[in-house]
Amino acid sequence: MTQELTPTRTAQREWWRDAVIYQVYVRSFADSNGDGIGDLRGIRDRLPHVAALGADAVWLTPFYASPQADGGYDVADYRVVDPLFGSLDDAAELISTAHELSLRVIVDVVPNHTSDQHAWFRAALAEDTERDGGPARERYHFRPGRGIDGELPPNDWESVFGGPAWTRPPVSHHHPSKEGPSGPSDSDGDWYLHLFAPQQPDLNWNNPEVHEEFDSILRFWLGLGVDGFRIDVAHGMVKAEGLPDIGSREQAKMIGSQVLPFFDQDGVHDIHRGWRRLLDSYAGERIGVAEAWAPSPERLALYVRPDELHQAFNFQFLNCPWDATVMHAVIDASLAATASVGAPTTWVLSNHDVVRHLTRYGAGDDALGLRRARAAALLMLALPGSAYLYQGEELGLPEVTVLPDDVRQDPSFFRSNGQDGLRDGCRVPMPWSGGEPPYGFGPAGSWLPQPDTWKSLTVEAQTGDPLSTLELYRSALALRRELPGLGDGEMQWQESPEGLLTFTRPGFACTLNTTDHEAELPTPGRLLIASAAPVFSDDTVALSADSCAWWAI
């Protein structure tokens, strides 16, 4: 029994429909100057690794001027490179080096909120609304509090990082008569909204000035040669009229399963349509990819309608447990939803916000986790559509679960019970070479300590070892480029025993064994690559436990 699942191949194969895009977490990729923090020059020097891996593009996390209250997702100036990471010249050089290596460059844009140090927010705090009428505050969401003296937040919304989504800043009084010299006094004024940390005030996208400013920011980076944008919190910019209460204290758990008055509001699609028109006005197929947490594959697909963004991360796949039945269902639902709007599915297993998939799948056993992670990579790269890799997954890096509290920087750690939990453990700097930390990350040290056990996981140690995870990724990506049946296109499920998944694509088959024992099958074809070697006898093959294999048929 076979099922038709995927969209018919479009006549024109746009690059992004099957691109493999490698996420660089800027702070943790490579440090050029010895301050222990990754930077743009460091990245530029290490781009040959990404090119040799076989990726089509890199996505760089934010490197803009920022007080770094949330790893740079708190932007103080969208047109300035933070000196921590380099200069605008370094960014331009990075982009041109990438292009020489045939790598496209995608940068992050953070439109839902600015830093509290952004000139706009500083002006908002300094504004005397009685005197000035409040135009600076109109760019954000300022509201009077509830309660007798406004001492309670304006509504019951919770920050994704935990705690209330509102902060009541100290009021600065300009009238010297009131408080002596102008300066902060008690908090007795309006509250402002921040869906993330208090240092990340939410912008008011009902204000045309905000639209104009972001159009101009996009143009600035497009002018510098970037090939697209990863749009941070692409589901968050529009808030429901009147900012209504939710009436529940478990909001973090509702994200991704329900439409909330602050997430996935229909109005966000108009913003994305505007940006698509802007992107299309530039040559070279510049793209937008949505970081959108939508409650269903169908609602996620709305972000990739033909006149909206090109890609949206498939977090349903990322969150999928190691279970063939669930995986089958998630793959079907994802493909069906994106097919309904003619878009590719964009697969992803890890990023800078989640526990690395090796550790998620291993549940305490890294050897098991590695077997499954290797298999999952082959599964993902065989599915129709585009795929994102997170730096270090090609090395089989596990989550670092033993970081001492005093080195942690993630605001969601300090505000606790947030959606994302502890995010520093997936941000530990890359091990490149050598036998001890910082393993070639830079001339001295690294902002988060690397485990002693990583010496066998460096790029240097794995290069040339056919059994290494790095060589598995390199070979898989090379095959993916070579084989016409992979990338964008169709797939058909084939019947297979419980705990196994088999699907075919033109000239190609993929077998996945999610069970903890060998599984015997009729040999599907000629073995191309496997995450763990299968054992052949006559007409059958025994697939190793927790493994994936690709076959030419």
Binding site for ligand GLC (CB under 6 A): 70, 73, 110, 196, 232-233, 291, 352-353
H-run or E-run covering 208: helix 208-223
Q: What residue has token string 């498939």?
A: 314
Q: Does 107 bind Ca ion (CB under 5 A)?
A: no
- Catalytic annotation, pick one of 158, 232, 264, 490: 232
- Toward ligand GLC, which CB reaches closer, 31 or 353? 353
**Shortest Å, Cβ 297 to ligand GLC:** 19
Q: What residue has token string 């520093």?
A: 424
Decide which of Ca ion, ligand GLC, none touches 90; Cβ closer than 5 to 8 Å per partner kind.
Answer: none
The stretches of 341-468 forming alpha helices (DSSP H) are 357-362, 366-382, 411-415, 459-462
**Shortest Å, Cβ 539 to Ca ion:** 57
**Shortest Å, Cβ 521 to ligand GLC:** 40
Q: How far apart are CA 194 and CA 203, in angstroms?
A: 9
Question: Residue 242 burial (CB < 10 Å; 0-12/13-18/19+)?
Answer: exposed
Decide which of Ca ion, ligand GLC, none touches 37; Cβ closer than 5 to 8 Å per partner kind.
Answer: Ca ion
Q: Does 31 bind Ca ion (CB under 5 A)?
A: yes
**Shortest Å, Cβ 480 to ligand GLC:** 26
Decide which of Ca ion, ligand GLC, none touches 232; Cβ closer than 5 to 8 Å per partner kind.
Answer: ligand GLC
Q: Does 33 bind Ca ion (CB under 5 A)?
A: yes
- Toward ligand GLC, which CB reaches closer, 234 or 375? 234
- Toward ligand GLC, which CB reaches closer, 161 or 508? 161
Question: Residue 363 burial (CB < 10 Å; 0-12/13-18/19+)?
Answer: exposed
Decide which of Ca ion, ligand GLC, none touches 73; Cβ closer than 5 to 8 Å per partner kind.
Answer: ligand GLC
The reply to whether 213 belongs to the active site is no
Decide which of Ca ion, ligand GLC, none touches 358; Cβ closer than 5 to 8 Å per partner kind.
Answer: none
- Toward Ca ion, which CB reaches closer, 135 or 443? 443
Task: Tell me the sheet residues that pair with 252.
Answer: none
Long-range contacts of 133-141 (CB under 8 A, 24+ apart): 137/190, 138/204, 138/207, 139/203, 139/204, 139/207, 139/209, 139/210, 140/192, 140/193, 140/201, 140/202, 140/203, 140/204, 141/192, 141/193, 141/201, 141/202, 141/204, 141/239, 141/243
Contact 283, 262 (CB under 8 A): no
Q: What is the 3-state secondary structure (H, E, C) of 75-125?
A: CCEEEEECCCCCCHHHHHHHHHHHHHCCCEEEEEECCCECCCCCHHHHHHH
**Shortest Å, Cβ 375 to ligand GLC:** 26
Is 375 strand, coil or helix?
helix
- Catalytic annotation, pick one of 18, 39, 82, 291: 291
Contact 379, 348 (CB under 8 A): no
Decide which of ligand GLC, Ca ion, none touches 70; Cβ closer than 5 to 8 Å per partner kind.
Answer: ligand GLC
- Toward Ca ion, which CB reaches closer, 86 or 153? 86
Within its chain, how far is the Cα of 464 from the centroid? Answer: 30
Q: Does 102 bind Ca ion (CB under 5 A)?
A: no
Subset of residues 35 to 74 that bind Ca ion, contact rule: CB under 5 A:
35, 37, 39
- Toward ligand GLC, which CB reaches closer, 233 or 380? 233
- Toward ligand GLC, which CB reaches closer, 412 or 462? 412
Is 445 strand, coil or helix?
coil
**Shortest Å, Cβ 300 to ligand GLC:** 15
User: In this chain, which stretch among 28-36, 119-127, 294-302, 530-538 interacts with Ca ion, using CB under 5 A?
Assistant: 28-36
Sheet holding 500-505, edge to edge: 3-4, 492-494, 500-505, 508-513, 547-552, 526-530
Query: Residue 1, Cβ neighbours under 10 Å: how many?
Result: 6
Decide which of Ca ion, ligand GLC, none touches 39; Cβ closer than 5 to 8 Å per partner kind.
Answer: Ca ion
Angle at which helices 40-53 and 88-100 cross, to 10°: 10
Tell me which residue has its CB nearest to ligand GLC: 73
Q: How far apart are CA 172 and CA 397, in angstroms?
A: 48
**Shortest Å, Cβ 309 to ligand GLC:** 16
**Shortest Å, Cβ 451 to ligand GLC:** 23
**How many CA atoms are closer than 13 Å to the CA of 428, on its beta-carbon side?**
25
- Toward Ca ion, which CB reaches closer, 35 or 93? 35
Considering only CA atoms, give the Rg of the chain: 24
Q: DSSP code of 345? A: P
Q: Does 77 bind Ca ion (CB under 5 A)?
A: no
The reply to whether 74 belongs to the active site is no
**Shortest Å, Cβ 104 to Ca ion:** 24
- Toward ligand GLC, which CB reaches closer, 17 or 239? 239
Contact 390, 347 (CB under 8 A): no
Instruction: Give me the residues that bind Ca ion (CB under 5 A), please.
Output: 31, 33, 35, 37, 39
Active site residues: 232, 291
